[in-house]
């Protein structure tokens, strides 16, 4: 039986890992390489690196840090931030990324996902969607969650999956940083709309939030979080032990 | 020296790094002289079977690798590289593989129940079907990382490990000096590194 994945997300700016509350008020946490090695050794199933400023100002990812991380970490590594062209895919894949996550790039260029999937395979293309409730519907937000695109989210996510996105990271802006649990309503809507793996992001504050997520929504494949892991509020080993105790398929 | 075949398919950086991490002398090359001098060969691969098979045959490497394997040199295919070891694949049509191991490559959709997601992406447990030096350091039930939509069928003689995804799916194969892993050992943490180390330290 395939196991539910636990994925720490490392938001990287200026070569350091940071995590904002509702995307603002960034705090420095640690070195990406050191954190990645630590997580890999203590049971993380996968890692995500986001260059969180790239979509705003076009800054390129710090490929040296990515390369150094990929040399030392032997679990799947997803890279996102500033991915606007297939050349951007090529650049991070050459530095050791296994999957590439697109967000604003897919909004600006609707053909990007299809082009990348054709070149590198669907398994390589991850759609990262920042979603927020606006006037009774789910909307897609761009530019690190700062700009309402006006597009209805669920239909857009479905089209991206049809175009070749092999996995969907659903980040709820409404619950991000609040630590009150994952956005089950939003995630359920996405799970019903696509048949590719869905990764839940935004809102985890404690171990029970992950248990509730996987128990309530069997269609969710993975849980992603940042600060609760970085600050040690949730230890991955404890989380996975608790998941196993609750009969959730877990890699121990 | 272990030589990883570079034929323009996939990301070889992690594979090379992981062999280095277990202390193996490793190089990435398309140079036949280097491949011929190597003690062992790794055939990697991601993407579509047809494209990869065409790239391998257009460079003449298909025949070359078959000859090398016939000398008794250990050869291991990883992911799509494993699938290419078989006789043929039914991925978008029908395409010939290297034919080093008996069997065919078929879509997962034909064997697993509806409702399970395809590709099969994530960590899944290994069930050891046969003792083999490749898995000498692996315990029953240890997890490795899979990403694939097709699987090796009609190969019961060579299966050394399976994984359960609605049905038993071929996870690793071995036939004399030819080995294959459907999963990515270079992305499977310490379990994967133990498999690569076992391959690297296998007596030639």
Q: Higher-confidence residue: B160 or A143?
A: B160
Lowest mean pLDDT among A1-5, A17-21, A100-104, B126-130: A17-21
Q: Which two tokens stand for residue A213?
A: 């997520």
Query: Which of B124, B147, B187 is the closest to A75 by Cβ?
Result: B187
Residue B147: strand, helix, or coil: strand
Question: How far apart are the CA of B188 and the nearest CA of chain A, in angstroms?
Answer: 6
Q: Do A96 and B18 touch (CB under 8 A)?
A: no
Does the pLDDT value for residue A61 go beyond 80?
Answer: no
Tell me, what's the pLDDT at B204?
77
Q: Count CB pairs under 8 A between chains A and B.
A: 85
Question: A6 forms bridges with which residues in the sheet?
Answer: A223
User: Which value does ipTM take for this structure?
Assistant: 0.91
pLDDT digits (tens, 9 = 90+) for A6-38: 999 988 877 777 764 433 444 444 678 888 888
Q: CB burial class (10 A; 0-12, 13-18, 19+) of residue B113?
A: exposed
CA distances (Å), A70 to each of A17, B21, B148, in order?
A: 16, 12, 21
CA distance A78 to A46: 8
Whole-angstrom Cα Rg for chain B: 15
Tell me, what's the pLDDT at A23?
37
Instruction: Work out the pLDDT band at A95, boundaries 50, 70, 90.
Output: confident
CA distance B47 to A155: 27
Tell me, what's the pLDDT at A237?
93
For residue B78, list chain A residues with Cβ-Cβ distance below 8 A: none
CA distance A183 to A213: 9
Cis previous bond, B196, omega within 30: no
Query: Which of A5, A124, A195 is the closest to B117 by Cβ?
Result: A195
Catalytic residue positions of B, numbered? 79, 184, 186
Is the four-CA dihedral A35, B197, B17, A198 of positive or negative sign? Answer: negative
Residue A68: strand, helix, or coil: helix
pLDDT in tens, chain B (204 residues): 999 999 987 778 889 999 999 999 999 999 999 999 999 999 998 878 888 899 999 999 999 999 999 999 999 999 999 999 999 999 989 999 999 999 999 999 999 998 899 889 999 999 999 999 999 999 999 999 999 999 999 999 999 999 999 999 999 999 999 999 999 999 999 999 999 999 999 987
Q: Do B189 and A93 touch (CB under 8 A)?
A: no
CA distances (Å), A188 to each of A53, A134, A200, B63, B64, in order?
A: 29, 18, 10, 50, 51
């Amino acid at each position: 039986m395939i196991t539910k994945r636990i994925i720490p997300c490392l938001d990287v700016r200026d070569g350091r890992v940071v995590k904002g509350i509702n995307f603002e008020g960034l705090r420095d946490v640690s070195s990406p390489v050191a954190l990645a090695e630590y997580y890999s050794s203590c049971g993380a199933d996968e890692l995500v690196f986001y260059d969180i400023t790239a979509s705003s100002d076009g800054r390129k990812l710090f490929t040296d840090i990515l390369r150094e991380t990929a040399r030392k970490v032997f679990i799947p590594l997803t890279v996102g931030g500033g991915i606007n062209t297939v050349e951007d895919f090529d650049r991070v894949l050459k530095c050791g990324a296994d999957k590439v996550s697109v967000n604003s790039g897919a909004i600006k260029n609707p053909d990007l996902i299809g082009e990348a999937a054709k070149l590198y395979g669907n398994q390589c293309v991850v759609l990262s969607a920042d979603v927020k409730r606006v006037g009774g519907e789910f909307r897609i937000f761009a530019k690190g969650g700062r700009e309402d695109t006006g597009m209805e989210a669920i239909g857009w996510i479905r089209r991206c999956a049809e175009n070749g996105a092999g996995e969907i990271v659903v980040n709820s802006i409404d619950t991000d940083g609040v630590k009150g649990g994952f956005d089950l309503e939003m995630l359920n809507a996405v799970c019903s709309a696509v048949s590719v793996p869905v990764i839940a992001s935004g809102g985890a504050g404690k171990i029970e939030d992950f248990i509730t997520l996987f128990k309530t929504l069997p269609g969710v494949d993975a849980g992603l979080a940042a600060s609760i892991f970085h600050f040690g509020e949730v230890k991955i080993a404890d989380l996975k032990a608790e998941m196993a105790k609750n009969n959730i398929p877990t890699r121990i | 020296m272990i030589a990883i075949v570079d034929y323009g398919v996939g990301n070889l950086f992690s594979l090379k790094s992981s062999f280095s991490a277990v202390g193996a002398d490793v190089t990435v090359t398309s140079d036949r002289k280097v491949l011929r001098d190597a003690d062992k060969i790794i055939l990697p691969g991601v993407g579509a079977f047809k494209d990869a098979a065409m790239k391998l045959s257009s460079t003449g490497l298909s025949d070359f690798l078959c000859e090398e394997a016939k000398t008794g040199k250990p050869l291991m295919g990883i992911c799509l590289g494993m699938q290419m070891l078989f006789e043929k694949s039914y991925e978008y049509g029908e395409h010939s593989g290297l034919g080093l191991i008996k069997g065919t490559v078929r879509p997962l959709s034909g064997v697993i129940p509806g409702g399970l997601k395809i590709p099969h992406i994530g960590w899944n447990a290994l069930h050891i079907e046969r003792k083999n030096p490749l898995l000498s350091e692996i315990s029953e039930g240890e997890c490795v990382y899979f990403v694939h939509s097709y699987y090796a069928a009609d190969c019961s003689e060579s299966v050394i490990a399976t994984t359960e995804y609605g049905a038993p799916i071929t996870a690793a194969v071995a036939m004399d000096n030819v080995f294959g892993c459907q999963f990515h050992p270079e992305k499977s943490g310490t379990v994967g590194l133990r498999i690569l180390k076992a391959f690297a330290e296998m007596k030639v």
